[in-house]
Amino acid sequence: MFGKVKKSKSRLVNVNEMIQKAIEGKYAIAHINTNNLEWTTAILEAAQETNSPVIIGVSEGAAKYQNGFKNVFDMVNNTMEYLNITVPVALHLDHGSYEGAKKALEAGFSSVMFDGSHYELNENLAKTKEIVELAKKYNASVEAEVGTIGGEEDGVVGQGEVADPNECKMIADLNVSILAAGIGNIHGLYPKNWKGLDFKVLAEIKDTIPSTGLVLHGGTGIPSNQIKKAISLGVVKINVNTECQIAFAQATRKYIQDKKDLDEKKKGFDPRKLLKPGKEAIKDMVIEKMKLFGSLGKA
């Protein structure tokens, strides 16, 4: 008879300790979205090589693409074991729905964002409260959101709203670990006429909820000086997705334009070769972001 399959125990941590340290040390943790095995490996290698804590983000759409939350959990967890990753890693549902957050927790995610920003405030508060209670049972952390973040994320389109500090306080009082508050940030590429981050509102939010870690979504394309200022005003988690996608696409395009995939002798068509430059480009981008956010050596 076959032996029983042994399920590997979770190597993931929630974000609480890494966020607390980041608040004290005035730096930000990189949240990098993953899309597949190349992404996951690149993110984990970047974190380990630079001794940085990291948050691996997965949207519901990206989880579906990777055949579900369980598959994502197993891939991240098993890759950590295989590569001997010892830095703190959280696996975090990005912009989760109410049902999605529950499913991700069940599958072993160590952190979830419940994005109730499109509900009216009382419903957002009630649902966030339930998810916080449920997450406690899994020792997982929760990110909440007030004020929609602009741009498009997996079909959800926001208007680049700016959050109300009083609403931030109401959500923070539910004991969420981190809070995404819109301050004029946008997912994807910023339009030429973008006005920049609203630092006045960011400072007001920080004054209102000094002990809650603030999250900056839409990390792609925000100029370095604005990133640094946001960190100095209390941002401790910065989400980056599009920039890694562009880096991957550019490197893959170059490989094909150089006709390396057509080199039959070297088997340039082998996916391990074809996807390697893209994977390395993601890794370089993640390290660049960690350096900018000040998290190198903070594991």
Neighbours of 78 (CB within 10 A): 13
Task: For residue 181, give the H/E element and its range.
Answer: strand 178-181
Nearer residue to ligand 13P within complex by CB, 96 or 255: 96
Shortest Å, Cβ 71 to ligand 13P:
20
Chain centre distance of CA 196: 21
Shortest Å, Cβ 59 to ligand 13P:
7
Task: For residue 31, give the H/E element and its range.
Answer: strand 29-33
Helix, strand, coil percentages, rounded to 5, for the chain? 45, 20, 35
Selection from 225, 201, 223 nearest residue 214 by Cα = 201
Chain centre distance of CA 247: 17
Distance CA 130, CA 65 (A): 27
Nearer residue to ligand 13P within complex by CB, 261 or 286: 286
Kindly name the residue from 74, 94, 164, 263 that is annotated as catalytic. Answer: 94
Which residues form the interface with ligand 13P (CB under 6 A)?
33, 57, 94-95, 153, 187-188, 217-220, 239-243
Nearer residue to ligand 13P within complex by CB, 35 or 128: 35
Known active-site residue 94: yes
Shortest Å, Cβ 221 to ligand 13P:
7
Nearer residue to ligand 13P within complex by CB, 212 or 239: 239
Shortest Å, Cβ 135 to ligand 13P:
18
Distance CA 87, CA 46 (A): 10
Amino acid at 231: I
Catalytic sites, residue numbers: 94
